[in-house]
């Protein structure tokens, strides 16, 4: 999806994420990673795993406390929409959320 087709603004942040799914070999995996950027509708993360476009993923993003109150992690599902070759045998994986959207507090445009 080209930049002109994006529906939501991206936040270029590094945030922890737990990704669960099935890799290109058909093996289930759980991977702790760091999202490179995130929007209401998706995120991008780096991995050395071989994933397929269209793969379904479960995503958990821990959230920091609000003052003294703990926040529950953000849980959603997503679909791999793009894979970009990266450095050192890694890939950048773009995921579109198919479950709940992530609240970013950034104006959508």
Residue 90 inside a domain? The answer is: yes
The domain in which residue 72 lies consists of 10-97
CATH number at residue 71: 2.40.10.220
pTM of the model: 0.82
Q: What is the DSSP string of 34-94?
A: EEEEEETTEEEEEESS---TT-EEEEEE----BTTB--PPEEEEEEEEEEEE-STT-EEEE
Residue 37: pLDDT over 70: yes
pLDDT digits 0-9 by tens, 53-78:
999 999 999 988 888 999 899 999 99
**Structure confidence at residue 87 (pLDDT):** 79
Residue 109 inside a domain? The answer is: no
Local confidence band at 11 (pLDDT 50, 70, 90 cut-offs): low
Residue 105 inside a domain? The answer is: no
Residue 3 inside a domain? The answer is: no
**Structure confidence at residue 4 (pLDDT):** 43
Our count of domains for the chain comes to 1
């Amino acid at each position: 999806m080209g930049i002109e087709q994006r529906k939501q603004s991206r936040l270029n942040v590094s945030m922890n994420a737990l990704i669960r799914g099935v890799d290109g070999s058909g093996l289930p995996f759980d991977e702790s990673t760091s999202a490179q950027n995130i929007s209401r509708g998706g995120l991008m993360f780096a991995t050395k795993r071989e994933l397929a476009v269209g793969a379904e993923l479960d995503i958990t993003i821990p959230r920091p406390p609000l003052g003294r109150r703990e926040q529950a992690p953000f849980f959603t599902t997503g679909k791999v929409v793009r894979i970009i070759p990266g450095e050192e045998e890694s890939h950048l994986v773009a995921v579109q959320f198919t479950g709940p959207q992530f609240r970013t507090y950034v104006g959508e445009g």
